[in-house]
Structure formats: structure tokens, C-alpha cells
Structure 1
Amino acid sequence: MPGRAEAREYDVIVVGLGPAGLTAALYSSRYGLKTLAIGETMGGQLSMAGLVDDYPGFIEIQASDLVARFKAHAEKHNVEIILDRVEDIRKLDDQQKFEVVTRRGHSYFSRAVILAMGLKRKKLGAVGEDEFAGRGVSYCTVCDVPFFKNKKIIIVGGGNSGVTGALHAVAYVSKIYLVTRGDRLRAFPIYIERLMSIKKERPDFIDIILNSTVTEIGGRETVEYAVITNLKTGEKRKVDVDGVFVEIGNEPPTDFFKKIGLEVDERGLITVKPGGYTNIEGIFAAGDCAGGSYKYYFQQIITSAAEGAAAADAVFKWITQKGFKIIGHRRI
């Protein structure tokens, strides 16, 4: 029986359980590397989506089902998966090895690390936003809108997240205010067409409010109203709603990247070279958290998965070129 310290030794640790992370873990394990994947949320941002209709091989599939398939595939190939938050990554001075430290106080060790942490949801910055978080303010329409059946809601955001959130909410709520800072919706045309088709059939059901944002959220125990401010005229409008869904995009955990010594680009993303190589030998990055001038940035499930696979390939080649002994895993 291996000792406790030995049991926490891996060839590669993948941080993140989204499409990039689970694919990186799958490919790493298929290369015979002992692989651990750690993340806070199974599926990452994909877990917050609804219906997926742009992943090859599936004409339509619920995001939760696709996540389950990613997970099952990785586990089939001996990937160990842990739900926890990674708080620090330290390079051990006396050897080419990393210590990955989690919120629960556990340490895991590996020759290589693949960062596939994705992005985190942006906050709106409205008065009352933090106060009513979880009490009517949500950052995931798909996750939480079923709790607002026959209620009035505001969705803030005119991109893919906002528009697809509105499309998902149609089946539940009695009224949707879709608010965007821009002078037009910025989602993919197919999503806008679907939304406008619904609005044409039910003109009073969806209000699209341009050049505006929500500046105040209020109520007693839960959200009861929001103030929409026109960014051009300054005009304010108070509307009675039961929920405010913030879908204004995402941002990388740049502070964490800098803390462990990674170079980042102007957007705060990890600067990578082809294969996911970073400025720290042994640390690779893939998916939405990876950037830099070498990368064509396109936030899609398929591109994240592809980058995860490429990073795993790069890790395997790097480990073998270095001549490190591979721990490997016992095949089932």
C-alpha cells in the first residue's frame, strides 16, 4: 500500500474541470500519466449553460449532459477528480516538482501542472448588488431562473450569455427586461433571430433596453425593484422585478496568475506559446484562461477542449524529453 505522501504524487495535475481541463486530464491519462484534475465546479462555465447546439456530434444536448459525458470519459481512463479550490501552486526549489495547495488544506505534487481555470463572472457594480446576491441577484440565468416561475426579471447583458439566458428564461417567467450597455445586441445572429422571433409573437413579453445598465437593486428581504439608467441621457427608470440576472461577461483570475509568477497579457490572461507553454517551465495553460499573441482567442467548448488536448500532448513530450520517471497509473 502506498503511503499518504506517495498517494498524492502525480505526473500531472490539471486545475479546472471545464472542457479544457477534463479533456487535458483525459489525454494526459491516455498517455499513461498519473493524472489528477481539481476544480470547484464540475464542468466549469459549461455547467452554467443550457442547451448546447454547437458541439460537433450532438445536434442538441443539455450542457449538464455534456458535462456528465466529459466526466465519465475522463474517469473511464483513470483520471482522479477532486472538487476543491486551488489556492496556491509552489515550485519546489530542490527539484522539478510542484506543490498544489487547496482550500481544504491538502497538498498534491506533480512534475507538471496544466491550468484550465476558465474565467469568473463579472459583477455589475450596482448599488444593492452584493446585498441581494442569492436573494434575487444571480450570475447564472440558466441555473436559477427556474426559481422565478411567473415572475418578472431583468437580464443584464447583450452578448451570448445574456441573449441565451433570455431564451432559456422564456419557459419560466412572465416578463423579461433585457438590458445592454450597447446600441445593439452582440450575440451570435442565430440567437438574436430566435429572440426577435419570440418578441415578434409576444411584443409585451420581452423589452430590449439599449444603451443602459442597472445602477440600483432594492427591496426588503428579496429583490423587489431595479433602477435602469440610460448611459447617454442619464434618465433613470424604476421597474418592479423579482430577479436581476447579471450576464455581462467574465474575467480571468489574474491576481492568482501573478501570485504564482505567470506572465499575463493585456487582458490578464496567461501568456502562452503553442502547446500551452508558459514562462514557468512545467506549467502549461489551456482554454479561456490562456491568451497571448500566439493564440487565436475564440471562447467555445470545442476550442477549449482542443487546447486541453494539445496541452496534454505538450506535457507528455516535455516529461519524456526531460527524462523524468513516469509514475503512471494502474489500468483497469
Structure 2
Amino acid sequence: MAETKRTKVLIIGSGPAGYTAGVYASRAMLNPILVQGIEPGGQLTTTTEVENWPGDTEVQGPDLMIRMQDHAKAMGCDIIGDIITSVDFSNRPFVAQSDSGTEYVADAIILATGARAKWLGLPSEEKFKGFGVSACATCDGFFYRGQEIVVIGGGNTAVEEALFLTNFASKVTLVHRRDELRAEKILIDRLMKNPKIEPLWFHELVEVYGGDSPLGVEGVKVKHTKTGELTDIQAKGVFVAIGHAPANELVRDVLETHMGGYVVTKPDSTETSIPGVFAAGDLTDYKYRQAVTSAGMGCMAALEAERFIAETESDTTAETIISAVAE
């Protein structure tokens, strides 16, 4: 028989936004339940050195997320390793179904599902996923010791991946559609000074090729964006680092979204288009997308959820009194 768990606040997601919401909701005595989702800890668990988290000159991403998880748990947040598969937003309390079969019933929901890596959508990319094509350098970089590899992209993600991969690869070719990177200046400076990295400007990936027995990457074909000329690059690994898209599967047909699927919130708030539902972190933040801003939004969401529940309970009490007097 399926189990039902009841809470005032259900937090869906476990990155900086989710764990911070867990800390604040626990301090507000809301006894929150946090369901971690498919990637406990979020994107920072696939990051190595984090140098912009206040209070830490440098910290490993996975270590930071473990600290956040432990903090939320110590405050009283019930952290559960489960995946929410659907939510009924039509009535309050909200009812969420999970992969384990457990049903979660909540007066308010904080959505902190974050974002996931984008892919180019090439058939050859799909064919070699997990067999030479990856979107996570920290997950798979170790397998390419002494090999030549290719990184696709031109933002922070691509530059960080390329720099990290120089710890293993003999050469990293960074393929970018333009001749100017969109990354932070300090990262660009490091990349341009690294002798193992060779930028290839005005090019885009058109095909990944390799062997079938065993399945594995042997190289890529890239096209010049101005001339159309094709170039063949031998490589054993291809890392696609073209950014992330919001993980909005639970709400894309229910909540208002914009800017490619990011959940819309009210100005200076985490309130969504449904009362009692709040969104924080990379699910809604298309502009900054930083761990520290996600954590701040998690705080906001918990405080707003606390106020929403207090006001709702107050209204219910008032209705009960009026009804009793009328009788």
C-alpha cells in the first residue's frame, strides 16, 4: 500500500535553492519535507573548484552540497531520496506523486528543480552519448588521460570544462561559433594562457564519428560558420557545454513560463502564477544562474511560504469563527 506523507511545505529539488529553503522552512517550524530528485545536490555535484561561494576561497562543489544537505538536516528538514513525477496543482492541499509510490500532501510547494545540460540534438551526438560524448567533464574527464578531446561551447560552462579537462587530456580543442567567449574574464584569461587549449573560432559541430565494435568516438567534423568549409578533428572525447535549460517538466503545462521555459515569478518575489507555489534557483533565474543567488532565492521562497501558510491558516480560522457565530 502506498505511503502518504503530510507536510506544510514540500520542497522539490536539492541544489543551493532547495537546501537553503529547507534551512529556513525548518527554522520557521514548518517541518518541511525535501525530495532530492534525480540529481541530489544539483549541478554543483558535477563541479570541481568553486571559487565564488562567500566564505570559501575555494571549495569542491560536491563538498559544498554535502555541507548544505547536512545543515538542512540538522535544522530539522526531512530529506528524502525520491523523485517527484507529478503534482496536482488544481486544489490545496497540493498532492505530489513520486517514483517510489509515496504520495506527498502539502499546503505549499517550493520548486527548486534547477536546470539540466543542453544538447545539440545531432543523431551522431545521441549515438555516442556515454561512449565518448558527455556533458560532464568532472564525471568523465578521468577516462581521457593522455587523449585529445573537443569541447563545444563559448560560455562559462565550456571554459570551465576545458580548463578542468587539461588535467587529463593531452590537448583540448574548444569549438565556438563566434570569435569571442561569453565567459567571465578571469576564466577567459586562464584559458588563453593554457598551452593545452586551442580555441577554434567560427566553427560548429556537425557530426561525431567513431567505431561501432566497440562503440566509441574517433573524431568530429566541424563546419566554418562563414565559409561552410568542413574540418576533421581527431578526438577520443567530445564534451558538449552549451549551457543548461530549466528542469520544468513538472510545471511546463501548468505554470506561466518565459525565456525558453523558465518559470515566471512576481517582481521581487518567488511567487508563481499559482498561490502557494513558489519557484527558486535556476528553474526561474534566467539571468544570474549562480549558486549564491539560488541560495538567496531559496531563502525568499521559504519566508514567503511561511507567510502564505500563516495567512491561509488565519483566514481558515476566521471563517470557522464566523460560521460558528452564524449557527
TM-score (norm 2): 0.90
Alpha-carbon separation, structure 1, partners of 2:106 and 2:129: 38
The answer to whether the aligner puts 1:167 opposite 2:163 as a matched pair is: yes
Matches within 5 A, 1:35-50: 35-38=32-35, 39-50=37-48
Contact 1:9 1:110 in 2 (8 A): yes
Contact 1:41 1:83 in 2 (8 A): no
Kindly provide the amino acid, as one letter, of the partner of residue 89 in structure 1.
V
2:125 alignment counterpart: 129
Q: Secondary structure at the match of 1:74?
A: helix
2:66 alignment counterpart: 68
Identity of aligned residues (%): 36
Could you tell me which of 4, 10, 14 is aligned with 2:11? 14
Q: Secondary structure at the match of 1:11?
A: strand
The alpha-carbon deviation at position 321 of structure 1 amounts to 1.1
Matches within 5 A, 1:101-180: 101-180=97-176
Report Cα offsets for 1:255-300 as digits up to 9, x if no partner: 53233x1011233211101331111111000111115xxxx83111
Report Cα offsets for 1:79-131 as digits up to 9, x if no partner: 122233322110364xx201111233321111000011111211112341111
1:263 alignment counterpart: 256
Alpha-carbon separation, structure 1, partners of 2:128 and 2:245: 22
Contact 2:87 2:250 in 1 (8 A): no
In structure 1, stretches of 5+ residues that fail to align are: 326-332
Contact 2:152 2:176 in 1 (8 A): yes
1:316 alignment counterpart: 306
Q: Secondary structure at the match of 2:180?
A: coil
The answer to whether the aligner puts 1:193 opposite 2:189 as a matched pair is: yes
Kindly provide the amino acid, as one letter, of the partner of residue 313 in structure 2.
G
Q: Secondary structure at the match of 1:219?
A: strand
Q: Secondary structure at the match of 2:255?
A: coil
1:253 alignment counterpart: 247
1:232 alignment counterpart: 226
Kindly provide the amino acid, as one letter, of the partner of residue 252 in structure 2.
K
1:329 alignment counterpart: none
Contact 1:159 1:187 in 2 (8 A): yes
Report Cα offsets for 1:113-168 as digits up to 9, x if no partner: 00111112111123411111001110111221012111111011111011011111
In structure 2, stretches of 5+ residues that fail to align are: 317-327
Report Cα offsets for 1:162-220 as digits up to 9, x if no partner: 1011111111111101011122111100001111121xxx2xx3210111111111111
Alpha-carbon separation, structure 2, partners of 1:316 and 1:77: 16
The answer to whether the aligner puts 1:223 opposite 2:220 as a matched pair is: no
Could you tell me which of 87, 99, 123 is aligned with 1:89? 87
Kindly provide the amino acid, as one letter, of the partner of residue 65 in structure 1.
D
2:202 alignment counterpart: 211
2:297 alignment counterpart: 307
Alpha-carbon separation, structure 2, partners of 1:245 and 1:215: 14
Q: What CA RMSD, in Å, does the superposition of the two structures yield over aligned residues?
A: 1.7
Alpha-carbon separation, structure 2, partners of 1:85 and 1:207: 41
The alpha-carbon deviation at position 47 of structure 1 amounts to 1.3
Structure 1's consecutive aligned runs of 4 or more residues displaced over 6 angstroms after TM superposition are none
Contact 1:125 1:215 in 2 (8 A): no
The alpha-carbon deviation at position 230 of structure 1 amounts to 1.2
The answer to whether the aligner puts 1:275 opposite 2:269 as a matched pair is: yes
Alpha-carbon separation, structure 1, partners of 2:208 and 2:10: 41
Contact 2:117 2:244 in 1 (8 A): yes
Contact 1:127 1:215 in 2 (8 A): no
Q: Secondary structure at the match of 1:308?
A: helix
Could you tell me which of 95, 98, 120 is aligned with 2:94? 98
Single out whichever of 44-53 and 299-308 deviates more from structure 2.
44-53
The answer to whether the aligner puts 1:30 opposite 2:24 as a matched pair is: no
1:241 alignment counterpart: 235
Kindly provide the amino acid, as one letter, of the partner of residue 84 in structure 1.
D
Contact 1:156 1:180 in 2 (8 A): yes
CA separation of 1:68 and 1:253: change in aligned 2, threshold 3 A: closer
Alpha-carbon separation, structure 1, partners of 2:82 and 2:156: 29
Contact 1:158 1:180 in 2 (8 A): yes
Contact 1:87 1:103 in 2 (8 A): yes
Contact 1:286 1:307 in 2 (8 A): yes
Kindly provide the amino acid, as one letter, of the partner of residue 13 in structure 1.
L
TM-score (norm 1): 0.89
Alpha-carbon separation, structure 2, partners of 1:29 and 1:318: 15
Kindly provide the amino acid, as one letter, of the partner of residue 51 in structure 1.
E
